[in-house]
Structure 1
């Protein structure tokens, strides 16, 4: 990450909205931790469903960032549809799909860092994404450790 990226301040709206987007993950992980099988099932389904939606959303954000940048557009657009396909596959796998989501979020992060490096995303974006990806991964791991079906 360049020095500019290290010093660029994350906009307050992006930080708050990113943080609010963690709430369903936190709810799902909390419910999955409860010993009651009903709550564990609810929590697991929340993590899997919401995680799939957000992973697909992240691919859409990459599509939007890439479509106006002609050099490498085919590769970037191709990469941007992978998260939605992975999210769909995760839904088909049930509880094991949480592992697919974790891998998917880290894969999207790698591409997002490249977008910022190439000037297609703001310099502060990788720092926000690293924090959100690490938190989401820990919450998804919580659900993966408490099978829900």
Structure 2
């Protein structure tokens, strides 16, 4: 029987690749024209909402594959995606704030998942790093939009 290989290296590579639009957004926001920051947020925030929904799907998959899918945990995994969807229906600046709240809530659910046994520690460390970088990028762009 073949030894099971960890998916963590691929997850790390893909997670870093997923950061490219955020890095590009920060660059675009600070390239000299403040109007570009609004444009960067306009195309990054729907991407962030998509990421939050994707994280919920990953959480469900991990719960189900670990055989530890309580109704409460599955419900918690859906809440950030619903918040993210609602955020897309709001006006600035609440859209960015709510999307960051949804991202941070999804991360906290992953932290909860590590305690419940359906989230691995290695994946959790990756999530912490990606969440921090995305939050900082969106905050930097939002700061530029507000004239900072």
TM-score category, normalised to shorter length: 0.7 to 0.9
Instruction: Give me the whole-angstrom Cα distance separating, in 2, the residues matched to 1:70 and 1:12.
Output: 24
- TM-score for both structures, normalised by structure 2: 0.81
Task: Give the gaps of 5 or more residues in structure 1.
Answer: 1-8
Alignment pair present for 1:91 and 2:82: no
1:106-136 Cα distance to aligned partner (Å, 9 max, x none): 1111110121222212221111111111101
**Deviating more after overlay: 45-54 vs 34-43:** 34-43
Instruction: Give me the whole-angstrom Cα distance separating, in 1, the residues matched to 2:73 and 2:21.
Output: 29
Instruction: Give me the whole-angstrom Cα distance separating, in 1, the residues matched to 2:119 and 2:68.
Output: 15
Q: Give the CA RMSD over aligned residues.
A: 2.3
1:18-77 Cα distance to aligned partner (Å, 9 max, x none): 111101111122222234255223211122111111111111111222235666621011
Per the alignment, residue 3 of structure 2 pairs with none
Per the alignment, residue 42 of structure 2 pairs with 45
Instruction: Give me the whole-angstrom Cα distance separating, in 1, the residues matched to 2:118 and 2:67.
Output: 11
Match of 1:60 among 47, 51, 57: 57
**Deviating more after overlay: 90-99 vs 47-56:** 90-99
Tell me which stretches of 4 or more aligned residues in structure 1 moved more than 3 Å.
67-72
CA contact (8 A) 2:34 2:144 kept: no
Give runs of aligned pairs for residues 1-149 of structure 1, distance below 5 A.
11-67=8-64, 73-96=70-93, 97-147=95-145
Q: Secondary structure at the match of 1:93?
A: coil
Per the alignment, residue 5 of structure 1 pairs with none
Instruction: Give me the whole-angstrom Cα distance separating, in 1, the residues matched to 2:91 and 2:77.
Output: 23
Task: Give the gaps of 5 or more residues in structure 2.
Answer: 1-5
**Deviating more after overlay: 71-80 vs 96-105:** 71-80
Q: Secondary structure at the match of 1:84?
A: helix
